[in-house]
Chains A and B, each alone.
Chain A
């Protein structure tokens, strides 16, 4: 029995959502919809009486002040001549439906099943104008929804809605046996047909394992077929995936540098550069007796010591491919999934403190024809932004830091980096919180959301294979409320000592989470029939590898089971005991006592064949461009301020809650009107002290076109100098106050495996990756700033037929550093008229890759170089000046150079600046104003502190002028005025850049 309830706004209530749809349809799709009326439909599949449904509709759903309600009929008015219905496809998260179910239970005082879907919600849009089906289809697919996850109906509204996205799956539940005794071509075909993404070498290694006498004997003993089961192939494919085993970062690489003639073999980029650099720093810290590195590169996130009471844990991930297909779903599952990393580190149950996000998109005004499957960059931007908004805001985690970068080459695949930091107590119930103790016999308990077909084989699932009742599995939509309940529950359970340890269920689902935890004891038994499902008839292997979100795996000792389950019931979190850990050396997966997978743990985790790759570096032929000599610098500066990579992100920033928890001290925008962009975020850690952290990110892929090493080094320095800029201090091996730094490195590169046909420049791409890693090692060990966790994403190419859009090799360094006293931090905006302005750090003629050259569509050659010794000397002086509180404002120089930085400093009150370039222009005016040389800052200082300041900074400070209160930026070159422009014009150009 189906009941339908519709809510629409009363006519006198302004339909804000409808107005927005009308506006965006016009501006984005050029479709004139006329007035738009929105409505919400609830399809209620519970068996209810008439009075019950009426009570539910009127009391439970309707807001009496604004809504009209229709029961088993719909709002109709001849004024509206066409409509679109947006429903979900079967199996797509419907949080509104679930919340409606909960409220139904409260209102009718009934005990209902609210764990599976019985209420399905839909959105209806009525349009004043009569639009033909093509336009309505376009509106549906390009604006109102995404055909991969939603079902649309459109046309002229007849007053009937029939569609219900109930999941129905055939009950055939047979286990397949995979015959590997076939030739090479057939092996590859098996991998392809099953969507395993295993190459021939890997398929052969699997066949080899099954042919071994020992394997055969064990399988016979355990009543298993000689050949692998479907579940075993899936587990192997998942465990050996690039995502889980990082095969390319573990590969043996032959690296040839044609520029120097050197050749070397690198045995794993990860071990050689990333892990090694941190190990070296840890050795130094241990030797000095000040080791604050508690956990590196193991577990879901790295952990550092704050003090004897607490530890800091954090992780940055990417979610690029899902965001390319469904930007909202990709981003929200990205951020929620990343939240579960710090949440599931060690024992688990840390309190999440902040989110960060760094995004790389195609330009918003992208005007090339879209390829099949390619979404417009603007649509990706808006969807991702919305996903981050909901993922962060609804979870109560402030989004405090980020960046947005635009480049044509991100218009196939965007990069979506999500970071989350949290704090754990030093110990939970007497056990160090970052440890992951597991013993033979401990219970495996799954907590949180239910399991469906979500994410099985991720994006490789073809939408053509989907019929109207098959659950949609390629794209997932996160449920912040489910995760919020789960996270709070885990925190409570951990504090009570009920959880021995925990981990996230993300990529690879239970197969990955249980498989990795089982390495600790050396085995596990899993009973898949005990896993609660969203809908029936999932195959065992599907249950095991499903990536359904908002789930965690808990490790629990028998005696805590009862209390843990009781607390879960009180907190409305679903728990299920699904097995136990063993020390048999095997992962033993069963369904109704029948073994569906039985794999040697050693083979599973170490059996993947090593990869060999080739890298070859050849220096590109580049030149410095000819720039016209008669430039109007007023106009140039206005253009720069409004350019994609420099202009204001305020519209985005304001839609993220960046101060929930009340601990954000330096927010992304500061100053009297909240307009001044800041270099790094600063948060305090609690309300009892002013101890805090600074959070920054460094990313500058544009320099990689000239020099990948300098690009990586520059990004590293950028993140460091941002933290220095707000008053942070470099680490000091001999300091014993846990002045920690902790970095996540995230590589996102195009396919770098050489193939003469499909990837002819693969060797060069890999060479760039090698150089990025070398820079990471050099910078990290020089500054003593360690990586503690990270991630690589290796295949960021969008393919459509013959056309490939590949991202530029990109590295993001996300950094967190301890701040002794947040009250002593420094913001970028000017503070008072008459303060004197300096540039700190030497400016070079390094316009290569700059935003200035981009205005002329030029790349150039002189890429900014990092000069580590000079940088550290300067940073130490700045630290000294800050100890004496001599710096009133500080802004680091990056995109757009000195001119844009000074402009940004003056975005508050009626400030302006009067600048004389003087000697700075010895390298040329363009370079003086716009060079993007690293390790530089623009600072303002009280006039009375001039001497003290100059004594400390000496040759590293260049006096350039004064802060004024005339709302004007004036720049002189040896007395001749070259820029004279009102701040309002500059600010307006900056604010309108993205609107």
Chain B
């Protein structure tokens, strides 16, 4: 069987490419880390891959606001072919392929207009900006999935713990209409919650004060997912801050981290889709 191919972008201050690439390998896919400039120089094409991934980090040091400089590059920088990378990405999505952005990757997907993209016109409708705490923080939080959301990334997930590691993760929605659209279309895929799954705006359970307590967005097709927390930082049980006690309480627990599920989901989905396609 042909292996699912994941492209992980790096360069310009992106930091989390290695663990993201590892996530796909652990989920049974092939993954390749490629410098963004090699794509601009058309040495690599995104169309060779099934999933395009934008990892976390501080692209361009987050100068001018998180993800902004990178988003500008994708939107405006012309390649030799005369196209922008955003044009290529639109083609990529038209083919039914998938995009995943985490943390800085999510920030940049919203600034490019790929998320939530309620009307499919790729205009910026939300932003991610400074946490209400005015601090960068690394802490583990819980996420509750919107049960009605429609994205193959999150199948069979209800509540998962994950670390957040950001200073600019507060989602602000442009206006009430877009907020309604997001809610009606169930594009807010993950909300910050307490350990029992109760959605909350209480700090630090909700670490940034996001609108709708929202930690992740998808687009109406479900092909694009962006999230502030880092599932790729929870590939192994031993990433969890309480693994010692968890293992004591449940000695036979799987050594996989719960974040890995998301990657297994999408890889599995593409595999099934390919099999169905082959039939």
Where the two chains meet, the residues of A that have a C-beta atom closer than 8 Å to any C-beta of B are 13-14, 16-17, 19-20, 59-61, 63-66, 95-96, 98-100, 102-103, 106-107, 109, 389, 393-396, 479-481, 484-485, 488, 570-572, 653-665, 667, 669-672, 674, 684, 687, 690, 822-823, 826-827, 829, 831-832, 888-889, 908-909
In contact, A658 and B138 (Cβ under 8 angstroms): yes
Structural contact, A485 and B12, CB atoms closer than 8 A: yes
Other than the given A96-B64, A832-B248, 13 more pairs (CB < 8 A) read: A17-B134, A64-B124, A103-B68, A106-B72, A389-B136, A488-B10, A572-B12, A659-B163, A659-B233, A661-B18, A671-B241, A687-B19, A831-B244
22 contacts between A and B (CB under 8 A): A16-B130, A63-B68, A63-B124, A65-B127, A99-B63, A99-B69, A103-B60, A103-B64, A103-B69, A107-B72, A393-B165, A394-B62, A570-B38, A570-B41, A657-B165, A659-B138, A662-B239, A674-B139, A826-B244, A831-B245, A832-B249, A888-B244
CB proximity of A106 to chain B, nearest CB, Å: 4
- Quick check: B69 and A827 within 8 Å, CB to CB? no
Minimum C-beta distance from B85 to chain A (A): 11
Q: Write the nearest CB–CB distance from A800 to chain B, whole angstroms.
A: 33
Identify the closest chain A residue to B57 (Cβ).
Answer: A396
| Nearest opposing residue in chain A for B66, CB measure | A63
Q: Which residues of A contact B236 (CB under 8 A)?
A: 684
Q: Which of A395, A662, A664 has the most CB of B within 10 A?
A: A662
- Once the chains bind, are B232 and A670 in contact (CB under 8 Å)? no
Complexed CA–CA distance, A823 and B240 (Å): 12
- Chain A contacts of B139 at CB under 8 A? 654, 674
CA–CA, A639 and B87, complex, Å: 63
Q: In the bound complex, how far is the Cα of B230 from the Cα of A658, in angstroms?
A: 13
- Within the complex, what minimum Cβ distance (angstroms) separates B160 from chain A? 15
Smallest Cβ distance from A310 to chain B, in angstroms?
Answer: 15
Highest count of chain B CB atoms <10 Å: which of A20, A831, A909: A831
Q: Is the CB of A16 within 8 A of B131?
A: yes
Q: Which of A63, A488, A661, A889 is within 8 Å of B11, CB to CB?
A: A488
Q: Is the CB of A662 within 8 A of B232?
A: yes
Q: Is the CB of B172 within 8 A of A13?
A: yes
Among all A-B residue pairs, the 6 with the closest Cβ atoms: A396-B15, A662-B19, A99-B63, A481-B61, A65-B127, A687-B22
Q: Return A594 CB to nearest CB of chain B, in Å.
A: 39
Given A14-B132, A106-B72, A654:B242 Cβ within 8 A: no
B138 with A65: CB separation less than 8 A? no
Q: Which residues of B contact A672 (CB under 8 A)?
A: 242, 245
Is the C-beta of B37 less than 8 angstroms from some C-beta in chain A? yes
Residues of B within 8 A of A829 (CB): 244-245
Flag if B241 contacts A393 (CB, 8 Å): no
Contact of B60 among A99, A571, A661, A888 (CB under 8 A): A99
B109 sits at the interface (CB 8 A): no
Contact with A along B215-246 (1 / 0, CB 8 A): 00000000000000000110110110111110
Give the Cβ gap from A981 to chain B, nearest Cβ, in Å. Answer: 23
User: Using a CB-CB cutoff of 8 Å, which residues 236-277 of chain B contact chain A?
Assistant: 236, 238-239, 241-245, 248-249, 255
Contact B238–A665 (Cβ < 8 Å): yes
Q: Are B78 and A109 in contact (CB under 8 A)?
A: yes
Chain A residues closer than 8 Å to B58, beta-carbon distance: 393-394, 396, 480-481
In the assembled complex, the CB of A648 is this many whole angstroms from the nearest CB of chain B, namely 14
Q: Which residues in A have their C-beta under 8 angstroms from that of B111?
A: 63
Minimum CB–CB distance from B230 to chain A (whole Å) comes to 8
Max count, chain A CB within 10 A of own CB: residue among B13, B14, B56, B132:
B13
Q: Are A480 and B61 in contact (CB under 8 A)?
A: yes
Task: Check if B136 sits within 8 Å of A393, measured CB to CB.
Answer: yes
A95, B64: Cα distance in complex, Å: 10
How many Å lie between the Cα of A389 and that of B174 in the bound state?
31
Q: Give bound CA distance, A684 to B237, whole Å.
A: 13
Interface on B for A, CB 8 Å cutoff? 10-16, 18-19, 22, 25-26, 35, 37-38, 41, 56-58, 60-65, 68-69, 72-73, 75-78, 111, 124-127, 129-140, 163, 165, 172-174, 232-233, 235-236, 238-239, 241-245, 248-249, 255
Contacts of B10 in A (CB 8 A): 488
Instruction: For A661, list chain B residues within 8 Å (CB).
Output: 15-16, 18-19
**Nearest A-chain residue to B77, judged by Cβ:** A106
Question: Of all chain A residues, which has the CB nearest B43?
Answer: A570
A107-B76 contact given A100-B64, A672-B245, A823-B238, CB 8 Å threshold: yes
B78–chain A nearest beta-carbon distance, Å: 6
Residue pair A822, B238 in contact (C-beta under 8 Å): yes
Q: Are A671 and B245 within 8 A (Cβ)? A: yes
Asked if residues B241 and A66 are in contact (CB atoms below 8 Å), the reply is no
**Least distance between A386 CB and chain B CB atoms (Å):** 10
Pick from A17, A64, A909: contact of B130, CB under 8 Å? A17
When the two chains form the complex, which single residue of A65, A394, A479, A571 contacts B126, counting CB atoms closer than 8 Å?
A: A65
Q: Closest approach, in angstroms, between the C-beta of B133 and any C-beta of chain A?
A: 8
Given A66-B172, A661-B19, the answer on whether A570 and B138 have CB atoms closer than 8 Å is no
Question: A682 CB to closest chain B CB, in angstroms?
Answer: 9
**Are A660 and B15 interface neighbours, CB within 8 A?**
yes
Q: How far is A509 from B137 in the complex, measured between Cα atoms in Å?
A: 35
Residues of A within 8 A of B35 (CB): 570-571
Is there an interface contact between B126 and A95, defined as CB atoms closer than 8 Å? Answer: no
Cβ–Cβ < 8 Å partners of A488 in chain B? 10-11
Nearest chain A CB to B255 CB, angstrom units = 8
- List B contacts of A109 (CB < 8 A): 76-78
Residue in B closest to A100 when the chains form the complex, CB atoms: B64
The minimal Cβ–Cβ distance linking A270 to chain B, given in whole angstroms, is 37
Q: Name the residue of chain B whose CB is nearest to the CB of A106.
A: B77
Q: Which residues of B contact A889 (CB under 8 A)?
A: 244
Q: Are B37 and A571 in contact (CB under 8 A)?
A: yes
List chain A residues, Cβ under 8 A from B241.
667, 669-671, 674
Using Cβ atoms and an 8 Å threshold, which residues of chain A touch B133? 16
CB-defined contacts of A103 to chain B, threshold 8 Å? 60, 64, 68-69, 72-73
